[in-house]
Amino acid sequence: MKRKVVFVATIHRNAERMFPAILEMRHTHDIIVMCAGQVSKNTDYEANRFIDLLEKNKNKISKVLHSPSISGMGGLPQIRGACINMFKKEIPHKETDVVIVDDSRDKVGLTELYRLCKKHNVPVLANSHGNEDEKRWNAVLTTGHERFFDKLFVFGPKEKQNLANMTGKDFFLLGGVPDNDAVADMVHAREEILVIVNFVDPRHKRDGWYLYDKKTFERMRLLELQRILKKPVTFKLKHRFGHSVANDTAILERNIPDGLKYRIISKVENDVKLIENAVCILSYGSTMCFKPIQAKIPTVIFTQLGDIGNFDDYYAKVNMGDDYFDFILNPKKYEEDRVDFLERTVTGGVRCNASEVYAKAVYDVIRERENEK
């Protein structure tokens, strides 16, 4: 009988990132997937693509469990107890080599899960919530160390060094973004200008961020870019749990420049499908933007639209209103910069082998545990 790897999924976007690496370990372990909160099939959440991913890979998974539903982020405390009971009853701790959680924040009783795992000497590995600015590193990325995880997967060497310098500790694993490996086989259509949109409703923006208003779109020079490239613009809204897509769409439509040929979308099959049609991408510092950079799609990051974090030294990071067209029109000029950025920032990003690297790091943790017995 194989020993177990338990994967706890709490946010569909996060779970998708490392899931290919989790599946890599099916050759040596039984894979148990526990879906909690917004990822649960019992929760009504249109954007939850992870359920489809589980169905497509059901022959590679030994067992899938789901928490009760939640109707909004305010419902998480109500299901916390149910999640803890699921962890207690359904994880065969004596047969489990490692528990991996998809986030670096505790929303579903992970602290109690950690206590259960420590009783049985089962290591718990967490994953970076996403690309974050320095002021949020402690609150979002590292505060859970030895509270609900032992080690934390980060995106690359630069982030690992930054967090080690901040904490004075080294509990970090290099994992890259395993889901991004898929861009190695991607066919580029180059049919549209893709704009990745951050928070739209003024109630959700943070200090220093620009609103997606008429002035911002004017500074992005979308009409001029469209005239040069002769491509339509696709605005991709981030479908956040508990937020109104209809409200965000209405706000965008009121501010999009007159005469721009565009469409607005909020749901896609996966992120490869999202970017494969893009001739270029304009965005804030979204974690998703590592994917088009790996795929050699010209990608511009605007500093005033969201977190910068790992994009602090990105060659195509610009201030709103700056001339960024050369990054899009002459990508070969910046190829060396692209590779250098990926080598610093996203482990496995150049060779598209993050799944292999991630799985190896997990196996190393398992071996460490066995050697300590």
Sequence spans of domains, the chain: 3-177+351-372, 182-345
Residue 126 β-bridge partners: 152
At 309, list the tokens.
Answer: 């974090």
Q: Output DSSP code: residue 202.
A: G
Residues 96-127: pLDDT tens digits? 999 999 999 998 999 999 999 999 999 999 99
- pLDDT value of residue 69: 87
Residues 354-364: pLDDT tens digits? 999 999 999 99
> Mean pLDDT, to the nearest integer, of 210-230?
95
- pLDDT value of residue 293: 98
Residue 349 β-bridge partners: none
CATH of 182-345, one of 3.40.50.300, 3.40.50.12580, 1.10.150.170, 3.40.640.10: 3.40.50.12580
- pLDDT value of residue 255: 95
- pLDDT value of residue 208: 83
Question: Fold match between 3-177+351-372 and 182-345?
Answer: yes
Q: Over the Cα atoms of the chain, what is R_g?
A: 21
Q: What angle do helix axes 76-90 and 110-119 make, rounded to 10 degrees?
A: 20
Residues 288-298: pLDDT tens digits? 999 999 999 99
Residues 253-295: pLDDT tens digits? 999 999 999 999 998 999 999 999 999 999 999 999 999 999 9
> Mean pLDDT, to the nearest integer, of 296-316?
97
- pLDDT value of residue 355: 98
CA distance 108 to 128: 16
Residue 3 β-bridge partners: 29
Q: In what order do the strands lie in the sheet with 299-302?
A: 262-265, 233-237, 192-197, 278-283, 299-302, 317-318
- pLDDT value of residue 72: 63
Q: Which residue has the tokens 């109707």?
A: 71
CA distance 365 to 41: 31
Does this model's pTM top 0.85? My answer is: yes
To which CATH superfamily is domain 3-177+351-372 assigned?
Answer: Glycogen Phosphorylase B; (3.40.50.2000)
Largest CA distance in the chain: 68
> Mean pLDDT, to the nearest integer, of 303-331?
96
pLDDT value at 247 more than 70: yes
